Amino acid sequence: MKIYRLSALFALLTASLMLAGCAQLPFLSKKPEPTVVVREIPEPAPPVPEAEPALPEPSPAPPTIFTPPVDRFAVGCVLPLSGRHAEAGQRALEAFLLSAGTFNPRFSSPWKLIVEDFQDSTLSVRAAIERLAQAGNVMAIIAVVGTAEALDAAQEAEIRQVPLILITSREGVTQDKEYVFQHFLTPSQQVRSVARYALDSLNVAVFSILYPDDDYGAEMTALFRSEVQKIGGKVDKAIPYGKSQTDFTQQINEITDGRIQKQKEMYARTPEIKPNLSLPFEALFIPDSHFRVRMIAAQLAFYDVTNIALVGTSLWHSPDLLKKDAEYVEGAVFADSFSINSYLPETNDFIDIYYAQYRREPGNLEALAYDTMEMTLHILEDQAVQTRADFVKALLSVDRHRGATGMTSFNGEHVAQKTPFILRIRNGKIVQVK
């Protein structure tokens, strides 16, 4: 019994000594690392002692524009596929697809076209550019837009730093823009080409202008007057008319210095003698539609104002110009960037493949869309073009690209420098003369 008690007492003392030893050797036990937990605090934190004055915060770094990684095989297309211009948007899309080799059975096209419909809205066009630049990660965007939406599209592309090629007639849309380009025969290029052709080939130096009293008419009149002065010519008179006007007797009398009224009086006195009408100008510039031009030309002929050249813009370019009273526009001259009756081999090749695919002849818009996509994909075929900045640099280097719309260069400019087709009406047909 005594031995049992002594044994128990000895065991108790041994255990106590071991526990005391562990308490004196903390380095044998490793403490866990603290974990930071972020959570909302429901109650305000208690006040803390006043801290030492903090050092001034360093100036924040300038904001960095987020540029997502791009898919160099992806090209964005912004088009009016619904609304009043849906038909034009659909035709441009067909040309994009044809240019990208979508229907070529001999090889699989590597290109991915991401299409956005902007529905004739400036807000929608901005949203479309943003989606393509950010979520679509496209290398570049081609947009077919009207003059109302062009500036909004350009501003959004500049913000997103995505290359944008605009197919639009609006002047000045690329001004102060690094990422925005324009591929179109601009109004200034048109009037420059027809004014020079009239001077060099028709020996015309004195012009008058009949123009619609709207923004387009005023713009084209100012551009034409400026170009004529540059080449050493003269504009005698510029007379406006109402947009819905159908009788141009007053305007014709004004540009002829009242000669048609005098001619009427002379003819009334001596009807057997037709007086010869002398005019103060040699050519008449009319920046209006083919429908209005036909009407004006017929009335000019009625008043014997026929010994002049008629000069116009791409708005004249329509088969309807020749449907009625075509003899009154015989010899008329205008400029455009495309013609079915062109003598250029690249133009004829495009017409053939377009007709083979869609069973109809292409127009000016389809040709511009085709060439724009062709230039874009030609740049992307170069493996050295890996970023959007690379694309901008390459596009600025495009020089004398031959396509359906003739020769196109950028040469460091953001507006395409195009050689216009000079078109003239000969024997009742629209033919290319230069």
Same domain, 285 and 354: no
Q: What is the mean pLDDT of residues 83-107?
A: 92
Residue 10 lies in a domain: no
Please name the helix (run of DSSP H) or strand (run of DSSP E) that holds residue 409, with its range, or none: strand 406-409
Same domain, 105 and 172: yes
Same domain, 179 and 192: no
pLDDT over 90 at 62, yes or no: no
Task: Report pLDDT for 74.
Answer: 97
The domain in which residue 107 lies consists of 71-184+344-419
Same domain, 370 and 299: no
Q: What is the mean pLDDT of the chain?
A: 85
pLDDT over 50 at 58, yes or no: yes
CA 128 vs CA 37, 75, 112: distances in Å: 42, 13, 17
Higher pLDDT, 104 or 429: 429
Same domain, 351 and 314: no
Task: Report pLDDT for 31.
Answer: 35
Task: Report pLDDT for 361.
Answer: 95
Task: Report pLDDT for 263.
Answer: 65
Percent of the chain with pLDDT over 90: 71
Confidence of residue 3 (pLDDT cuts 50, 70, 90): very low
Beta carbons of 281 and 206 less than 8 angstroms apart: yes
Task: Give CA–CA dist 323/291, Å, rounded.
Answer: 10
Task: Give CA–CA dist 141/138, Å, rounded.
Answer: 7
Higher pLDDT, 49 or 376: 376
Domain count, the chain: 2
Task: Give CA–CA dist 410/412, Å, rounded.
Answer: 6
Torsion over CA of 340, 346, 352 and 353, rounded to 10 degrees? -130
Same domain, 82 and 199: no
The residues facing 207 across adjacent strands are 235, 283
Least confident of 63-77, 129-143, 313-327, 413-427: 63-77
Q: How do residues 141-154 score in pLDDT, each as one tens digit?
A: 999 999 999 999 99
Beta carbons of 259 and 277 less than 8 angstroms apart: yes
DSSP annotation of 154 reads: H
Confidence of residue 8 (pLDDT cuts 50, 70, 90): very low
Same domain, 122 and 258: no
Task: Report pLDDT for 262.
Answer: 67
Confidence of residue 409 (pLDDT cuts 50, 70, 90): very high
Exposure of 104 in the CB half-sphere (CA atoms within 13 A): 13
> From start to end of 273-328, where are the E strands?
283-285, 309-312
Task: Report pLDDT for 266.
Answer: 59
DSSP 221-251: HHHHHHHHHHTT-EEEEEEEE-TT----HHH
Same domain, 325 and 352: no
Residue 432 lies in a domain: no
The pTM for the full model equals: 0.79
Task: Give CA–CA dist 111/92, Å, rounded.
Answer: 17
Least confident of 65-79, 379-393, 405-419: 65-79
Residue 430 lies in a domain: no
Percent of the chain with pLDDT over 70: 80
Task: Report pLDDT for 123.
Answer: 81
Residue 54 lies in a domain: no
Higher pLDDT, 311 or 37: 311
Same domain, 315 and 196: yes
Q: How do residues 143-189 score in pLDDT, each as one tens digit?
A: 999 999 999 999 999 999 999 999 999 999 999 999 999 999 999 99
CA 421 vs CA 194, 310, 337, 341, 365: distances in Å: 10, 17, 5, 11, 14
Q: How do residues 314-369 score in pLDDT, each as one tens digit?
A: 999 998 999 877 899 999 999 999 999 999 999 999 999 999 999 999 999 999 99
pLDDT over 60 at 41, yes or no: no
Task: Report pLDDT for 27.
Answer: 34
Task: Report pLDDT for 93.
Answer: 97
Closest to 116 measured CA to CA, from 75, 177, 156, 155:
75
Same domain, 83 and 150: yes
Task: Give CA–CA dist 187/418, Å, rounded.
Answer: 12
Q: What is the mean pLDDT of residues 272-278?
A: 61
Residue 50 lies in a domain: no
Same domain, 218 and 294: yes
CA 56 vs CA 67, 146, 150, 276: distances in Å: 32, 52, 47, 91
Residue 28 lies in a domain: no
- From 305, 336, 367, the end of a domain falls on 336
- From 278, 308, 336, the end of a domain falls on 336
For residue 237, which phi and psi values (nearest 5 degrees)?
-145, 155
pLDDT over 60 at 61, yes or no: no
Please name the helix (run of DSSP H) or strand (run of DSSP E) that holds residue 23, with its range, or none: helix 2-23
pLDDT over 60 at 19, yes or no: no
CATH number of residue 292's parent domain: 3.40.50.2300
C-alpha 291 chain-centroid distance? 27
